[in-house]
């Protein structure tokens, strides 16, 4: 976009320069990072934000074993064998994670789930799963990020803090770009924040609405009513949302006057009381607005390839997450087949965890169940989850060590340019080996 | 009466879809014992999990034991009676078209999911999504009656199209959300955002301490709605406990949800 | 000692490209291709299928369907309810599980096409920004060869080149873009209309000569110029066009004007049924059929080809790159609605729909599709499609065949639809019945020829060994629903309804020559407007597994 092209200096001797490399730390999936590699270490990541730099700089070749079985080093083959036996013995095996790996690896993982008659779920279910459910209820009006950059003139950030979670979003996509129909960039745009607290994002906004905690639904409902010109009680609006009706009316007037309005929303909606119905209220508002002007919504996806996980699971099974294949065919039911539920209720009897850390962030009953069952973990990092695994594989890091395809938060597929090789196998390699073995065992 | 005494102890879901009064009505016991059910991803014969006895020809099934891990009991049944003497799992009476189910204990989520007819009476508590649509469906429950004596979770009667749901205890958030028509009555207290997105139909909040309604509901009057008395009488005839003070109370009538076609009503007990 | 030959012996062969109309013939296969019979009479085939008494045709070719990519996948995601009660596709030792409904999952799509004797399918509308997504889904769509058409009718670079009156620049760009995406031909959907939709609420273009703001071009210019560029590039398939005003009463005039716009250039108009309506003023009660008038024009102009876009009654999902159309349909049917605008390139609209035989409009749509087949003089230029899933599922093709071959069946169905169909269309008067030869043309030989695929749609030496063997049955639906056997690339992949070998299938693409100078122009354009880097946009050949370039002519 309007970020200037770096003049490429020739690489210093002993270093390699990889231009237009992709960062997969967050859903921005910036593909304009120029990486300088020296001695299997990334020493420069031009244009990467603070999160991207941390992502690139903290990866070095290491000599940890690629496989541990019950904490002891083992060969990858032995690990695969043990993993395959755990998964085929199980009656309710679950496969979870998948948002920080390539779509090539995700495709194999879903295949394993199919072969073993297990349940496949991704980190979507603890993140924007509710938005996916809302989308199943009412649909969604959206666009790719370049449309926002070229047309968006009223940008609303709701329930998220992109200044800290997606640091280059403003610059690359949503506020700064000098677009075809917004040639003056930031000056042609009005930025609005809606959140329960004043974050770093709030400071970058032209208008900020600090709403009462857990009142997002009421705020969205107020806006829906105003869009339709419905008469509503100002006192109730104030008491429900913490904001005067007049301010909401002003916002609605601006929304209707916009040429291309955008609402980018985050966990503030999906993970607070109301969840998918909060997301649904927002998607309905945006749909309603299209009677008056062009308006789109976009969930701010977190991890680099969580969008890819949704896409892969959907095209292979028909459903985006929480997919059970116990009966030999896919069934979908969030709340029943989603991982926090299958673990917390003690239903899962084995697990294959890929690039995720439930031991660090799931509920106590879920963690207790995970401790009680045999499970396999694949991760480039050493985490509480890998440390308690029956079989732990240290795998190469996608995008740094391995090529592959990822999907940006707006479903645009981007290919990874790896910086340096790893001695560890990739997720794709390990999962493919497991897939081959479980297929043999299930014959 | 066919008795099925649950003898397994397993945390892994047991699914008994297809095991309905009609399905087994003319089966000899030996065949019923071989009836295939699912234990996780394994197909197993019924007898591995239940001791089977009695005679199914009167279309009455009695489940005994703690069946909170047994799911789809009575799903798609069309006739007969099912009694669960204990707790039940998820999807009790899902998509049923006729007959009666009594849960003499608690039930889990999705009681009567997309039900079309018949009666379900849960004598204990139930979970989320009682009498509701499954994700993505244009319509939810289209007929029948669900009674829960105890309390329930969120999204009771989600996208309800027709039918009656009565909750003796409390309900969670979003009761009657996206309702198209039909009636949901809550005798205890309700969580927030009742009837959000309601098109038509009635949600009754009879507990006396109602939550704040959404700003798109407008109070039109206070009265003693005759249709409510009829509903209460009907519930009583089904052996559902109707508190004495509901009959003659005053009810505020709130029309909405005006963000949609808004021809529904929430009745809020005022006295 | 293996001879390497596979023989399909003594079948009743239909091969319209070679004028073979139900003659008893042997077919010899080697290395995935159909070959001449070995000259030495003592050469034994390794494998023989005895096809005596069975009908043998080339594998089916679906030249217009929606089976992969972001639009299709969003429809899958959006409609869990569509699958919950639909047929279950159960995993077996050799095949993956899946879901059906109106938008099947990828493995199921491949198995079902193959199961019906289809061996090639083209996705009709892909924004090139999403090309990699399509290639990934295609890899998970087994048993069939695949390709896709690349959306260009609302592409900013295309419109700018036209506005600047630079046809060489346009031509080079089109060639570059096809090679970058590994696509097959330019696809134009509601030219200009989708760009206006992005600019204005309910925005659209309503005629060929309306100006598209900011770009200063008209639909007519877009169609004319792109069609000409395709001819100059000598692409195997013509430009593929979804006309403006789809679905509107009175749109037949737009369609006729559009047909005239092609001049001498080849042009393929897709799902023509949706563009054949008389009446006016957006008033559905005036709806009537103008199929006859349009068929006459197409018959008289051999540069034009169409696929029908047949409507079948029942529930399905509409999905189109025509963004404003999706909005219109979701409002008309009060259904959930998905819309996504792809920067610089295209739009998309998805809405569930139910076609009812009690509805005047739906009944007419059904009738108009059939009128097209039955009135057209040249079956080589009228291809069977349902615009899957917009008019109905591809699984309905056998039923369409029966409607065409069996006029009693057709008239029985006609009695069940809205009675106004009899006055507002000519279907009641049409007694024609298709022969097997003609069915073979409209389902394989014709589309293969129109697509410019030299090795598909026929059974002569050099053809890909894609062969379908049917058991004759008076019930044509049954006959075509369940072939006796299906051979793909010389491998028996389906045997009595069971998938034996779910091979991956090839990606068919074009890579026309172009002036490399265009690349710096395009790179600048990317720099200014795209949210992805120019270098990361193109799909290299190494990314694909099993691809075949179809040469320009």
Smallest CA–CA distance from C336 into chain B, residue? B138
Chain C interface includes A1 (CB < 8 A)? yes
CA C344 centroid distance within chain: 24
Smallest CA–CA distance from C334 into chain B, residue? B138
In a domain, B181, yes or no: yes
Could you say which of B39, B177, B215 has the minimum Cβ distance to residue A225? B215
In 3-state terms chain A splits into helix, strand, coil percentages (rounded to 5) of 40, 20, 40
Which positions in chain A touch C532 (Cβ < 8 Å)?
31, 146, 412, 414
| Beta-bridge mates of residue B165 | B146, B184
Minimal CA separation from A232 to chain C, in Å: 25
Cβ(A207)–Cβ(A195) below 8 Å: no
Smallest CA–CA distance from C339 into chain A, residue? A141
Chain A interface includes B12 (CB < 8 A)? yes
- What's the pLDDT score for residue A10? 58
Same domain, A310 and A246: no
In a domain, B227, yes or no: yes
Chain C interface includes A428 (CB < 8 A)? no
Cβ contacts of A176 within 8 Å, gap of 6 or more = A2, A170, A185, A186
Contact C73 A311 (CB under 8 A): yes
- What's the pLDDT score for residue A58? 87
Same domain, A263 and A389: no
Same domain, A115 and A92: yes
Which positions in chain B touch C81 (Cβ < 8 Å)?
134-138
Smallest CA–CA distance from C68 into chain A, residue? A315
In a domain, B225, yes or no: yes
* Structural domain span for residue A205: 129-299
Contact A138 C336 (CB under 8 A): yes
Could you say which of C80, C335, C352 has the minimum Cβ distance to residue B135? C80
Chain A interface includes B193 (CB < 8 A)? yes
In a domain, B263, yes or no: yes
For B120-169, write each residue's pLDDT tens digit: 999 999 999 999 999 999 999 999 999 999 999 999 999 999 999 999 99
Cβ contacts of A372 within 8 Å, gap of 6 or more = none
Query: Residue C413's closest CA among C395, C396, C393?
Result: C396
Which positions in chain B touch A327 (Cβ < 8 Å)?
38, 41
Same domain, A428 and A356: yes
Number of domains in chain A: 2
Same domain, A360 and A426: yes
Smallest CA–CA distance from C347 into chain A, residue? A143
* Structural domain span for residue B133: 109-269
Query: Residue B266's closest CA among C88, A436, B255?
Result: B255
pLDDT (tens place) for every residue of chain B, 271 residues total:
999 999 999 999 999 999 999 999 999 999 999 999 999 999 999 999 999 999 999 999 999 999 999 999 999 999 999 999 999 999 999 999 999 999 999 999 999 999 999 999 999 999 999 999 999 999 999 999 999 999 999 999 999 999 999 999 999 999 999 999 999 999 999 999 999 999 999 999 999 899 999 999 999 999 999 989 999 999 999 999 999 999 999 999 999 999 999 999 999 999 8
Same domain, A94 and A133: no
Could you say which of C70, C104, C341 has the minimum Cβ distance to residue A411? C70
Residue showing tokens 């354009």: C525
In a domain, B103, yes or no: no
Query: Residue C244's closest CA among C316, C302, C184, C194?
Result: C194
Report the distance separating Cα B9 and Cα A107, nearest Å: 35
Same domain, A424 and A309: yes
Six token digits for residue C433: 């019945």
Rounded alpha-carbon distances, angstroms, from residue A4 to A8, A32, A172, A416, C528? 12, 10, 11, 21, 10
Same domain, A315 and A225: no
Query: Residue A262's closest CA among A300, A303, A218, A308?
Result: A300
pLDDT (tens place) for every residue of chain C, 553 residues total:
788 999 999 999 999 999 999 999 999 999 999 999 998 888 999 999 999 999 999 999 999 999 999 999 999 999 999 999 999 999 999 999 999 999 999 999 999 999 999 999 999 999 999 999 999 999 999 999 999 999 999 999 999 999 999 999 999 999 999 999 999 999 999 999 999 999 999 999 999 999 999 999 999 999 999 999 999 999 999 999 999 999 999 999 999 999 999 999 999 999 999 999 999 876 778 899 999 999 999 999 999 999 999 999 999 999 999 999 999 999 999 999 999 999 999 999 999 999 999 999 999 999 999 999 999 999 999 999 999 999 999 999 999 999 999 999 999 999 999 999 999 999 999 999 999 999 999 999 999 999 999 999 999 999 999 999 999 999 999 999 999 999 999 999 999 999 999 999 999 999 999 999 999 999 999 999 999 999 999 999 999 989 999 999 9
Report the distance separating Cα C366 and Cα A419, nearest Å: 57
- Provide the H-helix boundaries in A36-187: 50-57, 76-89, 103-116, 129-138, 145-151, 162-165, 169
Beta strand residue intervals within C282-326, DSSP E:
283-289, 304-307, 314-320
Cis amide leading into C389 (omega within 30): yes
Mutate which of B8, B9, B10, B11 to test chain A, going by most A C-beta atoms within 10 A?
B11
SS3 label, residue C88: strand
Cβ(A429)–Cβ(A399) below 8 Å: no
Which positions in chain B touch A230 (Cβ < 8 Å)?
216, 258-259
Cβ(A224)–Cβ(B218) below 8 Å: no
Query: Residue C449's closest CA among C59, C33, C151, C61?
Result: C61
Minimal CA separation from C348 to chain B, in Å: 20
In a domain, B44, yes or no: no
Smallest CA–CA distance from C342 into chain A, residue? A144
Report the distance separating Cα A394 and Cα A299, nearest Å: 31
Cβ(C58)–Cβ(C33) below 8 Å: no
Segments of chain A scoring below 70 in pLDDT: 1-11, 61
| Beta-bridge mates of residue C86 | none
Same domain, A198 and A288: yes
Contact A222 B12 (CB under 8 A): no
Chain C interface includes A405 (CB < 8 A)? yes
Q: Please provide the DSSP assignment of B25-40 as one string.
A: TT--HHHHHT-EEEET
The CATH number assigned to the domain holding A293 equals 3.40.228.10
Smallest CA–CA distance from B137 into chain C, residue? C81
Chain C interface includes A361 (CB < 8 A)? no
Cβ(C550)–Cβ(C508) below 8 Å: yes
A238: left (phi over 0), alpha (psi -120 to 50) or beta: alpha
CB C261: neighbour CB atoms within 10 A? 19
Number of domains in chain B: 1
In a domain, A256, yes or no: yes
Minimal CA separation from B192 to chain C, in Å: 25
Smallest CA–CA distance from C78 into chain B, residue? B136
In a domain, B147, yes or no: yes
Which positions in chain B touch A275 (Cβ < 8 Å)?
none
In a domain, B253, yes or no: yes
User: If DSSP states are collapsed to H, E and C, what string results for C150-201?
Assistant: EECCCCHHHHHHHHCCCHHHHHHHHHHHHHHHCCCCEEEECCCHHHHHHHCC
Q: Number of H helices and number of E strands within chain A? A: 19, 20
Output DSSP code: residue C442: I
- What's the pLDDT score for residue C118? 98
Same domain, A134 and A214: yes
Cβ(A153)–Cβ(A190) below 8 Å: yes
Cβ contacts of A95 within 8 Å, gap of 6 or more = A109, A110, A112, A113, A118, A119, A120, A121, A351, A352, A353, A354
Contact C130 A290 (CB under 8 A): no
In a domain, A319, yes or no: yes
Minimal CA separation from C417 to chain B, in Å: 25
Contact C529 A290 (CB under 8 A): no
- What's the pLDDT score for residue A62? 76
Report the distance separating Cα C7 and Cα C29, nearest Å: 6
Contact C198 A294 (CB under 8 A): yes
Report the distance separating Cα C99 and Cα C101, nearest Å: 7
Could you say which of A239, A281, A326 has the minimum Cβ distance to residue B41? A326
Which positions in chain B touch A321 (Cβ < 8 Å)?
none
Same domain, A295 and A391: no
Mutate which of C70, C88, C93, C97 to test chain A, going by most A C-beta atoms within 10 A?
C97
In a domain, A225, yes or no: yes
- Neighbour-count burial for C501-539, b at 16+ CB within 10 Å, e otherwise: bbbbbbbbbbbbebeeebbebbbebbeebbbbbbebbbb
Listed by number, the residues of chain C in 279-318 with a beta carbon closer than 8 Å to a beta carbon of chain A are none
Which positions in chain B touch A221 (Cβ < 8 Å)?
196, 214-216, 259
Which positions in chain A touch C108 (Cβ < 8 Å)?
318
Could you say which of B38, B128, B136 has the minimum Cβ distance to residue A137? B136
- What's the pLDDT score for residue C378? 97
Which positions in chain A touch B215 (Cβ < 8 Å)?
218, 221-222, 225, 232-233, 236-237, 240
Report the distance separating Cα C90 and Cα C81, nearest Å: 18
- What's the pLDDT score for residue C280? 85
Report the distance separating Cα A256 and Cα A295, nearest Å: 9
Contact A230 B109 (CB under 8 A): no
The CATH number assigned to the domain holding A431 equals 3.40.50.740
Chain A interface includes B215 (CB < 8 A)? yes
Report the distance separating Cα B173 and Cα B189, nearest Å: 10
Minimal CA separation from B236 to chain A, in Å: 33
Chain A interface includes C353 (CB < 8 A)? no
Chain C interface includes A280 (CB < 8 A)? no
Rounded alpha-carbon distances, angstroms, from residue A398 to A99, A385, B96, B257? 11, 19, 48, 48
| Beta-bridge mates of residue B3 | B53, B62
User: If DSSP states are collapsed to H, E and C, what string results for C522-552?
Assistant: HHHHHHHHCCCCHHHHCCCHHHCCCEEECCC
- What's the pLDDT score for residue C138? 98
Those chains having 3 or more beta-carbon pairs within 8 angstroms of chain B are A, C
Which positions in chain B touch A272 (Cβ < 8 Å)?
none
Contact B136 C335 (CB under 8 A): no
- Provide the H-helix boundaries in C428-506: 436-440, 446-451, 476-481
Chain A interface includes B261 (CB < 8 A)? no
- What's the pLDDT score for residue A2? 35
Cis amide leading into B41 (omega within 30): no
Which positions in chain C touch A111 (Cβ < 8 Å)?
96
Which positions in chain B touch A237 (Cβ < 8 Å)?
215
């Amino acid at each position: 976009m309007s970020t200037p092209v770096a003049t490429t200096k020739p690489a210093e001797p002993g270093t390699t320069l990889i231009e237009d490399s992709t960062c997969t730390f967050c859903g921005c999936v910036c593909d304009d990072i120029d990486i300088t590699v020296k001695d299997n270490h990334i020493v420069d990541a031009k244009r990467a934000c603070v999160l991207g730099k941390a992502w690139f700089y903290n990866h070095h070749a290491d000599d940890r074993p690629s496989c541990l079985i019950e904490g002891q080093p083992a060969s990858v083959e032995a690990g695969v064998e043990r993993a395959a036996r755990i998964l085929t013995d199980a009656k309710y095996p679950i496969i979870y994670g998948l948002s920080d790996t390539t779509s090539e690896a995700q495709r194999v993982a879903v295949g394993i789930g199919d072969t073993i008659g297990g349940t496949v779920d991704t980190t979507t279910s603890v993140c924007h799963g509710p938005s996916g459910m809302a989308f199943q209820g009412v649909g969604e009006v959206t666009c790719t990020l370049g449309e926002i950059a070229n047309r968006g003139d009223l940008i609303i950030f709701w329930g998220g803090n992109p200044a800290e979670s997606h640091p280059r979003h403003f610059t690359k996509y949503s506020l700064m770009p000098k677009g075809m129909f917004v040639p003056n960039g930031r000056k042609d745009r009005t930025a609005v924040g809606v959140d329960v607290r004043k974050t770093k994002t709030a400071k970058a906004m032209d208008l900020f609405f600090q709403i009462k905690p857990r009142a997002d639904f009421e705020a969205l409902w107020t806006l829906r009513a105003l869009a339709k010109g419905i008469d509503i009680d100002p006192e109730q609006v104030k008491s429900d949302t913490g904001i005067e009706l007049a301010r909401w009316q002003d916002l609605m007037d601006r929304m209707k006057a916009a040429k291309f309005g955008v609402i980018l929303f985050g966990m503030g909606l999906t993970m607070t009381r109301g969840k998918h119905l909060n997301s649904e209220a927002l998607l309905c508002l945006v749909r309603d607005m299209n009677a008056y002007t062009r308006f789109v919504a976009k969930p701010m996806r977190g991890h680099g390839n969580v969008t890819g996980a949704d896409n892969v699971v959907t095209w292979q099974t028909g459903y985006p997450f929480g997919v059970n294949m116990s009966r030999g065919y896919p069934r979908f039911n969030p709340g029943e087949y989603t991982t926090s539920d299958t673990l917390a209720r003690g239903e899962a009897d084995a697990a294959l965890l890929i690039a995720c850390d439930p031991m660090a962030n799931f509920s106590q009953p879920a963690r207790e169940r995970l401790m009680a069952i045999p499970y396999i973990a694949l991760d480039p990092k050493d985490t509480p989850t890998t440390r308690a695994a029956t079989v732990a594989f240290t795998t190469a890091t996608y995008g740094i060590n391995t090529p592959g395809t990822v999907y940006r938060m707006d479903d645009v597929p981007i290919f990874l340019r790896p910086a340096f090789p790893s001695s560890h196998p990739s997720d794709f390699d390990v999962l493919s080996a497991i897939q081959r073995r479980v297929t043999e065992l299930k014959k | 009466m066919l008795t099925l005494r649950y003898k397994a102890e397993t945390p892994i879901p047991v699914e008994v879809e297809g095991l309905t009064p009609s399905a087994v009505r003319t089966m000899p016991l030996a065949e019923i014992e071989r009836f295939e059910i699912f234990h996780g991803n394994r197909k197993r014969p019924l007898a591995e999990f239940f001791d089977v006895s009695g005679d199914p020809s009167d279309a009455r099934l009695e489940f005994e034991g703690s069946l909170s891990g047994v799911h789809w009991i009575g799903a798609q049944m069309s006739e007969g009676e099912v009694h669960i003497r204990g707790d039940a799992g998820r999807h009790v009476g899902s998509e049923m078209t006729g007959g009666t189910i009594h849960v003499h204990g608690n039930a889990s989520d999705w009681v009567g999911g997309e039900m079309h007819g018949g009666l379900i009476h849960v004598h204990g508590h139930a979970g989320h999504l009682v009498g509701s649509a499954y994700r993505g469906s244009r319509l939810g429950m289209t007929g029948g009656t669900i009674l829960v004596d105890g309390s329930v979770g969120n999204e009771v009667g989600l996208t309800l199209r027709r039918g009656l749901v009565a909750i003796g205890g409390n309900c969670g958030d979003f009761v009657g959300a996206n309702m198209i028509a039909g009636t949901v009555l809550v005798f205890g207290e309700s969580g927030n955002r009742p009837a959000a997105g309601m098109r038509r139909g009635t949600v009754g909040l009879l507990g006396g301490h109602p939550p704040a309604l959404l700003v798109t509901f407008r109070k039109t009057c206070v009265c003693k709605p005759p249709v409510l008395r009829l509903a209460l009488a009907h519930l009583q005839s089904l052996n559902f406990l109707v508190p004495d003070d509901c009959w003659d109370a005053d009810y505020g009538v709130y029309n909405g949800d005006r963000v949609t076609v808004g021809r529904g009503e929430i009745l809020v007990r005022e006295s | 000692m293996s001879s390497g030959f596979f023989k399909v012996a003594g079948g009743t062969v239909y091969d319209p490209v070679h004028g073979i109309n139900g003659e008893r013939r042997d077919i010899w296969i080697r290395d995935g291709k159909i070959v001449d019979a070995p000259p030495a009479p003592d050469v034994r085939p390794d494998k023989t299928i005895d096809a005596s008494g069975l009908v043998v045709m080339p594998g089916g070719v679906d030249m217009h369907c929606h089976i992969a990519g972001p639009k299709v996948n969003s429809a899958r995601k959006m409609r869990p309810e569509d699958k919950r009660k639909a047929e279950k596709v159960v995993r077996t030792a050799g095949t993956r599980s899946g879901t059906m409904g109106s938008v099947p999952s990828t493995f199921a799509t491949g198995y079902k096409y193959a199961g019906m004797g289809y061996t090639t399918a083209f996705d009709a509308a892909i924004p090139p920004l999403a090309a990699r997504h399509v290639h990934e889904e295609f890899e998970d769509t087994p048993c069939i060869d695949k390709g896709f058409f690349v959306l260009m009718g609302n592409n900013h670079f295309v419109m700018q080149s036209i506005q600047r009156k630079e046809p060489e620049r346009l031509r080079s760009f089109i060639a570059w873009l096809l090679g970058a995406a590994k696509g097959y031909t330019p696809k134009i959907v509601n030219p200009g209309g989708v760009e206006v939709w992005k600019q204005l609420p309910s925005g659209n273009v309503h005629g060929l000569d309306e100006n598209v703001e900011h770009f200063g071009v008209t639909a007519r210019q877009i169609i004319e110029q792109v069609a000409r560029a395709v001819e100059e590039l000598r692409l195997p398939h013509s430009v593929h066009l979804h006309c403006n005003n789809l679905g509107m009463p009175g749109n037949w005039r737009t369609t006729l004007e559009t047909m005239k716009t092609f001049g001498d250039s080849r042009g393929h108009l897709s799902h023509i049924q949706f563009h054949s309506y008389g009446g006016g003023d957006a008033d559905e009660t005036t709806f009537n059929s103008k199929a006859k008038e349009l068929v006459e024009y197409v018959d008289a102009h051999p540069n034009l080809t169409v696929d029908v876009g047949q409507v079948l009654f029942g529930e399905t999902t509409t999905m189109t790159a025509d963004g404003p159309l999706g909005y219109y349909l979701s409002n008309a049917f009060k259904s959930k609605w998905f819309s996504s605008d792809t920067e610089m390139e295209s739009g998309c609209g998805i809405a569930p729909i139910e076609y009812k035989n009690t509805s005047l409009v739906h009944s007419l749509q059904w009738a108009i599709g059939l009128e097209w087949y039955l009135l057209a003089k040249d079956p080589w230029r009228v291809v069977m499609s349902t615009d899957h899933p917009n008019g109905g599922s591809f699984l309905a093709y056998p039923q369409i065949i029966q409607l065409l071959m069996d006029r009693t069946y057709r008239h029985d169905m006609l009695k069940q639809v809205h009675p106004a169909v009899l006055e507002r269309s000519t279907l009641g008067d049409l007694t024609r019945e298709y022969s097997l030869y003609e069915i073979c043309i409209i389902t394989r030989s014709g589309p293969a020829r129109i697509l410019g695929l030299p090795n598909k749609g026929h059974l002569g030496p050099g053809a890909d060994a894609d062969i379908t063997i049917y058991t004759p049955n008076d019930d044509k639906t049954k006959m075509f629903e369940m072939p006796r056997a299906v051979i793909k690339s010389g491998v028996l992949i389906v045997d009595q309804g069971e998938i034996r070998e779910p091979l991956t299938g090839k990606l068919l693409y074009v890579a026309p020559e172009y002036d490399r100078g265009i690349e710096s122009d395009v790179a600048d354009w990317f720099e200014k407007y795209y949210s992805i880097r120019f270098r990361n946009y193109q799909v290299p050949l190494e990314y694909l597994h099993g691809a075949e370039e179809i040469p320009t002519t």
